Amino acid sequence: MDTTTVEFFLALINIVFLDLVLAGDNAIVIGLAARNLPPATQKKAIIYGTAGAVILRIIATILVVWLLNVPWLMLVGGILLIGIAYKLLTDENDHTDIKAGKNLGAAIRTIIVADAAMGLDNVIAVAGAAKHNTLLVIIGLLISVPIVVWGSTLFIKLINRFPWIIYLGAAVLGFTAASMITGEKHFKAFFESHSLVRGLFIAAIIMGVLAAGHFKKKSNRRRREQTSTS
């Protein structure tokens, strides 16, 4: 993919957006891990911990991009991404189990380990959106991760104020997942020769994810209301 083409920049925007939508929780973890440190040390923990997390994330994503060339793994990655899109709409995360580091080294380790444990969704999503382009992975992560770290509070407030951002993110994930499945080597020739079928398949995946996530979210809300009134 030529770095000067519209396709490259659209893919880059897609990667940055996906990472921002998926990485809000990672930013919370960073804050929790460093919360007991003095202000000056907090900044160091955030910078060093984030740098380590970014390096690991880039390596992991490049590895997944390479693995997606293996037969059937595009299909597997696409199916996993559908689950991640659904989870994005329905999951209510609780980070009370994140321990604050007692010193700089402990906080850095907590940030890196927690980010690695939570970062699988980001890795799969970015790898799928990158279309086997390593440069896209690196540029996308270098742009989005600092935004997440320094602008996490603002972005989380935006998501809480405008819930449709989460639905938009889930739709983009659904599109990326469907594109990965239709791009699987064993299916690619069929979908390329049947563009209408491909379009209907992608639309069905997106609508299915949004509908399932929406109804599950409503069910969870109803259950909470019943619990609070009982």
In a domain, 51, yes or no: yes
In a domain, 198, yes or no: yes
In a domain, 47, yes or no: yes
pLDDT bin (cut points 50, 70, 90) of residue 152 is low
In a domain, 1, yes or no: no
User: What's the sign of the alpha-carbon dihedral 164, 20, 1, 60?
Assistant: negative
Closest residue by Cα to residue 159 from 104, 102, 208, 93 = 93
The two tokens of residue 93 are: 């995360």
Q: Answer yes or no: is pLDDT of 78 > 70.
A: yes
Domain with 183 in it: 6-229
pTM of the model: 0.74
Number of domains in the chain: 1
Torsion of CA 147, 148, 149, 155, to 10 degrees: 100
pLDDT bin (cut points 50, 70, 90) of residue 200 is very high
In a domain, 222, yes or no: yes
In a domain, 181, yes or no: yes
| Rounded distance between C-alpha atoms, residue 76 and residue 180, angstroms | 9
What local confidence, expressed as pLDDT, does residue 197 receive? 95
First to last CA, the chain: 58
How many CA within 13 A on the CB side of residue 95? 19
